[in-house]
Homo-oligomer: A and B are copies of this chain.
């Protein structure tokens, strides 16, 4: 299907969504780009203005108290409605996303399913009542010297949330992705600053969400999406006093700029920015096999390396012990060709970062390259080099890996200590083959890595993040701006909530969700003990 045909079929208008209506931005135009060819796609999209941002903030503020009062069942219906809409439109969504991102069809089909699956997972948790965070301390009228009042606590939505879509996941981390799903699950209105790398997908997804919002009779400000400049529209949204929190997935410079803008407001707000990670992998001697070397390259090159959880750095024993792993990895990588990258800007940054890294070590393998699909690359250096120059571990977004060779445990630990906070950290060990001291080191490393990362993997690869209740996709700064949270999985709902306590509020004045009969149907903590309905 040609680009024009896709656009026609999708009936793309090039508009943003403000207060339930399509509105064409007048701050310039932008087009989607066929990642594989560089061809500029139909239609032209209008870029939103600061006024559009202000109007969206006003509509979101109007929606906030309505959503806050909406029962869990309503929020769940919204999430499920969006999930159904995405699945129903999957074919059309994937077609447009293939053009705009250059990502393979199978990956995109899977990503739509992951996105709708996450929405349904959150719906289930909301329906269970667990996301209400109920805590009850009953009154003790006879307590001496003073009676104890009754306290009922619940978690309430923070209010309007601005979500910045990511280029590398047009579905899972964009308009109806993780941050949007968790904010809506919490009861927060969402304004998405759509990513310009996939404007068509952003419009298609937004149209689905807006339709569901309208069908359920929810306020028009429940979900809005603006295509616009990050510097103009993005900053205006973050600075708007009606906005109460920000979710972001992208570059470190972009994330830190939002953090700065948010904290310089008269009333600062939280920014959850997922920024950068090289996802270190420690290979212990027993595991330095050719098979794992090839598996490392598979993980490294997946999606052209355009994953936040791409294993960009692997620590391999020096000398003979590490040779099978490194030789096989180099051989496997050399046999692979580059893949189309998401945007020209990302490609240019990749090529520059890849070549700069090669200058800091020795390039031990290079794959095949083309103009729009630059070659993957593997560079080797000594673990001690990282201690001398921690910038060696700066993320290169794309299919470049750094192999650091370590001589002994001391060198390995020094290299790990030189790393900044990470999303993931991985250990490879063959427990059947490893001698006792290596098994013991592996156990120690698991403990040590707790300080470094939000997710610890053993004998697997970090790329690919399960959507579930127990996952953490977060980590210490600068992997994220706030390591107390996760951007994937149901725990993410809590990042958009705050606790409120109600003291001695008579039944007649309590919000419906906190009255006796409503509470009895929900899981809760009563005097510190879990009570299930």
* Bound Cα distance A431, B469 (Å): 43
**B residues near A502, Cβ cutoff 8 Å:** 446, 455-456, 458
Once the chains bind, are B270 and A484 in contact (CB under 8 Å)? Answer: yes
Report the separation of the CA atoms of residues A149 and B457 in the bound assembly, to the nearest whole angstrom: 10
Q: Is A153 an interface residue (CB 8 A)?
A: yes
Residues of B contacting A498 with CB < 8 Å? 454, 474, 476, 483-484
- With a cutoff of 8 Å between Cβ atoms, the chain B residues found around residue A446 in the complex are 502, 505, 509-511
Of A88-96, A369-377, A522-530, the stretch lying at the interface with chain B is: A522-530
A361 contacts the other chain (CB 8 A) = no
Partner of A456, one of B468, B497, B503: B503
- Minimum CB distance partner of A510 in chain B: B446
B137 touches A470 (CB 8 A): yes
Residue of B nearest to A444 (CB): B509
Decide if A443 is an interface residue (CB 8 Å cutoff): yes
Complex Cα gap A457–B509 (Å): 11
Q: Is the CB of B529 within 8 A of A128?
A: yes
- Please indicate the chain B residues that have their CB under 8 angstroms from the CB of A460 in the complex: 149, 503-504
Residue-wise interface mask of A (12-45) relative to B, using a CB-CB cutoff of 8 A (1 in contact, 0 not): 0000000000000000000000000000000000
The answer to whether A431 and B508 have CB atoms under 8 Å apart is yes
User: How close is A499's CB to chain B, nearest CB, in angstroms?
Assistant: 5
CA A107 to CA B485, docked complex, whole Å: 39
Known: A500-B450, A500-B456. A468 touches B151 (CB 8 A): yes
Report the separation of the CA atoms of residues A309 and B285 in the bound assembly, to the nearest whole angstrom.
60
Interface digits, A467-489 against B, CB 8 Å rule (1 contact, 0 not)? 01111101011100111111000
Cβ of A148 within 8 Å of any chain B Cβ, yes or no, is: yes
Q: A193: CB under 8 A from chain B?
A: no
Q: Please, which residue of chain B has its CB at the minimum distance from the CB of A133? A: B491
Contacts of A145 in B (CB 8 A): 110
Contact A528 B135 (CB under 8 A): no
- Select one of B69, B470, B525 contacting A447, CB under 8 A: B69
Is A451's CB within 8 Å of the partner chain B?
yes
Interface membership of A101, Cβ < 8 A: no
Contact in complex: A470, B128 (CB < 8 Å): no
Q: Report Cα–Cα, A135/B468, bound state, in Å.
A: 10
Q: Tell me whether A511 and B447 are in contact (CB under 8 A).
A: yes
Contact A477 B267 (CB under 8 A): yes
Give the CA-CA distance A128 to B528 in the complex, in Å. Answer: 9
In the complex, the answer to whether A457 meets B525 with C-beta atoms within 8 Å is no
Choose among A442, A457, A485, A509 the residue with the greatest number of B CB atoms under 10 Å from its CB.
A509
B503 A457 Cβ-Cβ under 8 A:
yes
Q: Which B-chain residue is minimally distant from A457 (CB atoms)?
A: B503
Q: Which residues 121-144 in A have Cβ within 8 Å of B in the complex?
A: 121, 124-125, 128, 130, 135-137
Are A509 and B468 touching (Cβ within 8 A)?
Answer: no
Chain B residues with CB below 8 A from A125, complex form: 528
> Measured between C-beta atoms, what is the minimum distance from A4 to chain B in Å?
33
Which chain B residues border A263 with CB–CB below 8 Å? 263
Q: Report the minimal beta-carbon distance from A270 to chain B, rounded to whole angstroms.
A: 7
Contacting pair A528 B152 (CB below 8 A): no
Q: Which of B146, B429, B499 contacts A472 (CB 8 A)?
A: B499
In the complex, the chain B residue whose C-beta lies closest to that of A151 is B470
CB nearest neighbor in B for A528:
B469
Q: How close is A473's CB to chain B, nearest CB, in angstroms?
A: 9
| A159 touches B (CB below 8 Å) | yes
* Chain B residues whose CB sits within 8 angstroms of the CB of A151 once the complex forms: 466, 468, 470-471
Residues of B within 8 A of A453 (CB): 500
Whether the pair B149, A466 counts as a contact (CB closer than 8 A) is yes
Closest to A113 in B: B145
Pair A499/B505 contact, Cβ less than 8 Å:
no
Mark each residue of chain A from 498 to 520: 1 if its CB lies under 8 Å from any CB of chain B, else 0. Answer: 11111111101111000000000
Contacts A135-B491, A137-B469, A450-B156 given; does A486 touch B499 at CB 8 Å: yes
* A336 contacts chain B at the CB level, 8 A cutoff: no
A532 at the interface (CB under 8 A from B): yes
Once the chains are docked, how many angstroms separate the CA of A203 from the CA of B134? Answer: 39
> Which residues on the B side are within 8 Å of A504 (C-beta)?
457-460
Do residues A484 and B497 form an inter-chain contact, with CB atoms below 8 A?
Answer: yes
Q: List 19 A-B contacts (CB under 8 A).
A: A69-B447, A124-B528, A130-B530, A135-B491, A136-B470, A151-B470, A153-B470, A153-B491, A429-B509, A446-B510, A450-B500, A455-B501, A455-B502, A455-B503, A457-B505, A458-B502, A458-B505, A474-B499, A476-B498
Which 3 residue pairs of A and B lie closest in terms of their CB atoms, listed nearest first? Answer: A472-B501, A151-B470, A135-B470
Known: A146-B464, A267-B477, A469-B525; 5 extra A-B contacts, CB below 8 A, are A130-B530, A156-B450, A454-B501, A456-B501, A458-B509
